[in-house]
Amino acid sequence: MSSSDPSLARRRWLAAAALLPLAGCGFQLRRPPQMLFERIALQGFEPRSPMAAELKRSLASVARVVESPSQAQLVLQALADTRERAVVASTAAGQVRELQVRVRLKFRVITPGEREVLPPDELLQWRDMSYNETNALAKEQEADQLYRAMESDIVAQVMRRLSTAKP
């Protein structure tokens, strides 16, 4: 078969025609939301808070995170930033078999003049995990991974809420 074969040309034309509708589908990679502010301060977080660190990383791509609220257009105020762990199931002998790990962030967004931009909101994520005393170290690492994943999810939700905030 040569390249001048009419059946080969027809197959190529049909393949190109089949792909044509996909060219205009509007697919785009997810981008960070556009913010209506340029500077933001984080307040009320513990000094080594993993949630604050994750927020700073995410905000750095869309705004400047400043230390002083007086320099900021908006202030994200953490009212509660907690990691929790609760026993969900145990054996008759009292040994833990299942845990629930939770991450909770309660926050509000205000201006430096204390005008409320976003009212207090609480975001809570939880995951269940099995537990075995013989694998305590591995289960501790698993819990840390779950905490980080939940914090990333909460930060994504906070970013979506911040995209609606008008200073």
Question: For the chain, how far is it from start to end, CA to CA, in angstroms?
Answer: 68
Please give the pLDDT value at position 28: 64
Which domains does the chain show, CATH number per domain? 32-162 (3.30.160.150)
Is the CB of residue 98 less than 8 Å from the CB of residue 74?
no
Considering the entire predicted model, what is its pTM?
A: 0.78
Q: Are 107 and 76 in contact (CB under 8 A)?
A: yes
Q: What is the pLDDT of residue 121?
A: 97
Q: Helices (DSSP H) in 95-135: which residue ranges?
A: none
Tens digits of pLDDT across the chain (167 residues): 455 677 888 888 877 777 666 666 666 666 667 788 999 999 999 999 999 999 999 999 899 999 999 999 999 999 999 999 999 999 999 899 999 999 999 999 999 999 999 999 999 999 999 999 899 999 999 999 999 999 999 999 999 999 998 88
pLDDT score of 49: 95
Cα 106 versus chain centre, distance: 15
